[in-house]
């Protein structure tokens, strides 16, 4: 029995990094098993892991890797663990940890509805304003519930305009280091007032016959989102060539152009796109829901101060634990950046800005004795290629977050589960249910990353971080190589 208890120690150690404790174990096992037996057993895991990293996609890449036993902090595997690389969305691990430590898991962001007066006998007010409180997860259903609440409070008509106020944050909606912005949903603006994560869907269906225009609808159906439809229905066996591009913006509308072809009898295609002005979009969604519950709005949706005397309703959003779970599971960039600016507000900076939020985030992580020399926090989502973290920094953060009595359960449960949900739903099949980890991907920069927790064959938990910069070939090949590496660590 003593021999069996020692075997995981030998199988887990690698690459010549030893300690006095390990040396003692080595001498004891040599006595118990014999030198030749030890020589055969010891390299097994190390050889498999090294083989996984010899994958063609990783051969010339820069790597920073660290795998440690969660309890003992014993190194299981390492390769340049101090090297600082681009972490991609693994930066969200730091943002989640800092936000939970700053606000606490039960914190809720408030959105207020203010009017120029209480509704009169006929349920009428002059003006209505929405004051954003930094809630990044308000969706169409939440806005409908808020509209229904306003009706229960007696509101029936708004004579004037519906004002939107996102002044809690500054108006730098896209990070300056993101090197431009696109219409893709992951480039949604970061605003203190938003709806549906600053994005919407364009539903595209083929027409009745080849040559017919495709059928297009917008969800949610807001008049300010206008579609120019130049796409046609193709023959049944043709290939789809649809493209959706932002076509411009006026004072009243955002315009998107649909071109290309969708084969006849194909399933509908749902294309997510981001809006340019999240606050006006949120106001338009609220106006739509007010009208749906029978509240008339006589004016238009426009920007304006919410400095009105009467607070008609306050919406308390989802808990921070739920928000963190959403942005970690599905790697939502706008949510992460919204939390950065909220940390700035918490630190006393109004309006919330990226520099102040990142400074507050660094201060919180430094207080936890994380980061260290050379860490670069350029944004909260990992879209910036100026971010720099090492595998050591991420493993330390994973251990601190997971061990915290105050935030540990919420922190760990936010990570995607291998082959089950989030961004790991279609990955790591050979490690199904054995890994909770945050993915990272910047295809254009040839960056992939995976950091989190795994259940080892001996029943112990390991914390790990794998950062890959400059891989060869397609991103999928590099991700497959990383998944194989993880599978060797969880292999029974």
Residues belonging to the active site: 89, 92, 331
Query: How many residues in the chain?
Result: 492
Tell me how far apart the terminal alpha carbons of the chain are, to the nearest angstrom: 19
User: Rounded CA gap, 464 and 391, in Å?
Assistant: 8
Judge whether 238 and 263 are in contact, CB under 8 Å.
yes
Helix (H, G, I), strand (E, B) or coil at 297: strand
Q: What is the rounded CA–CA span in Å between residue 434 and residue 451? A: 13
**Cβ 320 vs Cβ 231: under 8 Å:** no
Burial group, residue 156, by CB count within 10 angstroms (0-12, 13-18, 19+)? middle
Alpha-carbon distances of 105 from 100, 138, 167, 459, rounded to whole Å:
6, 18, 25, 29
In the Cβ-directed half-sphere of 83, how many Cα atoms lie within 13 Å?
A: 17
**Cα–Cα distance between 225 and 213 in angstroms, integer?**
19
The conformational region for residue 123 under phi > 0 = left, psi -120 to 50 = alpha, else beta, is left
Please, which residues bridge with residue 163 across strands? 129, 302
Beta bridge partners of 425: none
Query: Which residues of 19-122 form beta strands (DSSP E)?
Result: 62-69, 75-79, 108-115
């Amino acid at each position: 029995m003593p021999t069996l208890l020692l075997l995981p120690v030998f199988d887990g150690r690698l690459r010549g990094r030893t300690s006095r404790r390990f040396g003692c174990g080595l001498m004891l096992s040599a006595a118990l098993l014999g030198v030749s037996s030890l020589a055969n057993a010891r390299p097994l895991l190390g050889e498999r892991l090294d083989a996984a990293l010899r994958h063609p996609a990783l051969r010339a890449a820069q790597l920073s890797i660290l795998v440690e036993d969660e309890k003992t902090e014993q190194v299981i595997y390492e390769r340049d663990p101090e090297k600082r690389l681009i972490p991609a969305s693994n930066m969200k691990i730091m943002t989640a940890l800092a936000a939970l430590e700053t606000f606490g898991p039960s914190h809720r962001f408030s959105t207020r509805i203010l009017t120029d007066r209480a509704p009169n006998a006929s349920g009428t007010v002059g003006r209505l304003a929405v004051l954003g409180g930094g809630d990044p997860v308000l969706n169409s259903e939440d806005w409908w519930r808020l509209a229904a609440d306003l009706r229960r409070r007696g509101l029936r008509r708004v004579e004037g305009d519906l004002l939107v106020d996102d002044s809690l944050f500054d108006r730098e909606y896209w990070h300056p280091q993101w090197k431009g912005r696109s219409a893709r949903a992951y480039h949604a603006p970061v605003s203190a007032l938003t709806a549906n994560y600053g994005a919407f869907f364009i539903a595209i269906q083929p027409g009745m016959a080849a040559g017919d225009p495709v059928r297009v609808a917008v969800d949610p159906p807001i008049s300010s989102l206008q579609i120019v439809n130049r796409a046609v229905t193709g023959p049944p066996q043709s290939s789809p060539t649809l493209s959706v591009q932002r076509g411009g913006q006026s004072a009243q509308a955002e315009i998107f152009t649909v071109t290309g072809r969708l084969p006849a009898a194909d399933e509908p295609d749902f294309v997510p796109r981001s809006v340019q002005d999240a606050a006006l979009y949120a106001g338009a969604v609220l106006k739509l829901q007010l009208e749906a519950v029978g509240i008339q709005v006589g004016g238009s949706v426009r920007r304006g101060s919410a400095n009105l005397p009467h607070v008609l309703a306050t919406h308390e959003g989802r808990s921070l634990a739920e928000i963190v779970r959403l942005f970690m599971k599905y790697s939502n960039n706008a949510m992460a950046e919204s939390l950065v600016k909220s940390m700035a507000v918490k630190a006393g900076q109004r309006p919330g800005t990226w520099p102040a939020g990142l400074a507050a985030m660094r201060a919180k992580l430094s207080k936890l004795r994380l980061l260290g020399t050379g860490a670069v926090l350029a944004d909260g989502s990992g879209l910036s290629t100026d971010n720099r973290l090492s595998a050591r920094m991420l493993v330390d953060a994973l251990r601190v977050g997971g061990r915290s009595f105050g935030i540990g359960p919420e922190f760990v449960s936010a990570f995607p589960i291998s082959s089950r949900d989030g961004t790991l739903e279609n990955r790591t099949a050979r490690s199904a249910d054995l890994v909770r980890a945050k993915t990272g991907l910047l295809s254009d920069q040839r960056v992939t990353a995976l950091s989190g927790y795994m259940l080892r064959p001996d029943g112990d938990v390991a914390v790990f971080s794998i950062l890959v910069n400059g891989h060869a070939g397609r991103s999928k090949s590099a991700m497959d190589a990383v998944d194989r590496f993880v599978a060797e660590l969880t292999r029974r």
